[in-house]
Every structure is written in C-alpha cells, then in structure tokens.
Amino acid sequence: MKVLVTGANGYLGQGVVKTILDMGHEVIAADFYTDNIDDRAKKYSCNLFEIDDPYTFFEKPDVLLHFAWRDGFVHYSENHIRDIPKHVRFLSKISLSRIKTISVMGTMHEIGFYEGSIDESTPCNPESFYGIAKNALRDVTRVICKQNNKNFQWLRGYYIVGNSRFGSSVFSKITAAVEEGKTEFPFTMGENQFDFINYEDFCKQVAITSTQDDINGIINICSGHPEKLADRVERFIKDNEYSIRLLYGAFPDRPYDSKAVWGNDIKIKKIMENQNKKSD
C-alpha cells in the first residue's frame, strides 16, 4: 500500500511512519519540516492545507493517515477551534479522489468526564477546546466518508508511554527533566486511573489498523485496562533507571480528568489477531 501520513514529523508520526515502512508499505510523509522522519519515506515539506489537489500532489495514496494537529497538549488553545475548517477542507478535497481509506487520529479527550470502559457508542461531552475540536472533526469526517464511499477510521488514542523528550506527555517531560539534571519532578497525587499504552505498541496498532479495511469506524488504540497514574509513572522511572523523584501534590488534578477510564479493546484485539493470522 501507499500511505500518506500527515504530521509525520511529530512525536507520534515519526514512530508510526517507521512501523508502516517496516511492514513493507510505501509512505508519503508530509509536515512543515521533515528532518526527524525515516529516510525510507518520500518526504514533503509543505503546508498541506494550501494544496488544491492533495491526492495528486501526494502521489495518489491508497490510505490517508491524518496525524496533523497543533497544540495537542495545550488543551485550551484557541487554535483547536480555529483550525477545524482547515482540516475539514483538506479531508473534503482528498475524499473526492480515488483514495480508499481515511484514517484520522482522535483522542479519549473527546469523551469528557467519564468513568469506566469507553467504546464507540460512549456519549461524548468534551470539556476542553482540544476535545471539542476532535469531537467535531470526527463527526464531520464520518459524514465526508459516507458521502464519498470511503472507509472511515477514527483512531481514538489514550495515554502513550515513551521516553523521548520530544513528546508532551508527563513521561516525555520527566525524561527532559532528567536530561536537564533535575532530581525532583512536580506532580499531582497521581490517583487517577488511565489506559496507558507503550509507544511501540501504539505505533504498531495504528500502522496495522490503518493498512487494513476489514474493521472500520471508531477504534480504540489502547491497552484495554486502567492503571493508577502514580504507579505507571513510578514504574516508568524505575524501568528507565532515572534518578528523579516525584513531588506528590505539587499540582492539583485537572478537573476534567476522569477518576478511572480505559478503552474497550475488542476491535483492536480483533484487528491484531487478524494480522497475526495473515503473518502465520
């Protein structure tokens, strides 16, 4: 397959591009800058929102994997709302082509405050600009795909664990703090329970899901079970042999974070099982 990955130079995009390439597919990688992208990919440094015919410009891909998004961890940035029309126009343009699958990165923050297992029928009541914008784009993307007979995939991401300093998660911030020589890290009480997925597993799930079309719709990219934030962060520090300790209670918990939430993994487990059968 030929897969167009937008936002390919970002923390998540880099790993997904590499994984798709390792699977033997061709990757067209697009971003403003492309310096951190695997050299096996065909790279385009561009503003994809200014391209009139993205399907032709990006060499007629079979799949669009749309990671492009700014200010993802600045949950109340007004850019989330301002950028919605740009994403809609881009997706509308490419949906008019012969592309087969439109796969877009979502987030569990679309759900808002909720406790328990999240599946594709879970009501969404987002409480941040980030969640509101992703929630709106999901609905629009579904309609666009239905109107133009495209496979619709909405990849709902959860909490990604990785030791790169280039991400914006608490794990990346701890890594950056260690590299800066800090020995203490301000933290919440860490009582909330979330669905944590290792970076490598996240990339693998996304790569395999976007390059198959047997299972579509809203798909959780997740581990399928909750774990207390404090426990997962302490384990992360231990696994990486970091000499840093958490300052519990330095920050309050975010009021819109759920006490315990995790993704229903039925669909992603089926996708991964299907892939394993093909590999056998």
Whether 130 is catalytic is yes
Q: What single letter denotes the amino acid at residue 279? A: S
What is the distance between the alpha carbons of residues 13 and 9, in angstroms, rounded to a whole number? 6
Average pLDDT over residues 134-146: 98
Report the pLDDT value the prediction gives residue 258, as an integer from 0 to 100: 80
Report the pLDDT value the prediction gives residue 21, as an integer from 0 to 100: 98
| Strand order through the sheet with 26-31 | 42-45, 26-31, 2-6, 63-66, 101-107, 151-157, 217-221
Sign of CA pseudo-dihedral 174, 180, 183, 187: negative
Question: pTM for the whole thing?
Answer: 0.94
Architecture of domain 2-160+198-222+265-279: 3-Layer(aba) Sandwich (3.40)
What is the distance between the alpha carbons of residues 65 and 63, in angstroms, rounded to a whole number? 6
Average pLDDT taken over every residue of the chain = 95
Catalytic-role residue among 130, 158, 159, 199: 130
Predicted confidence band at 244 (pLDDT cuts at 50, 70, 90)?
very high
Q: 263: helix, coil or strand? A: strand
Answer yes or no: is pLDDT of 257 > 80.
no
What is the distance between the alpha carbons of residues 112 and 127, in angstroms, rounded to a whole number? 5
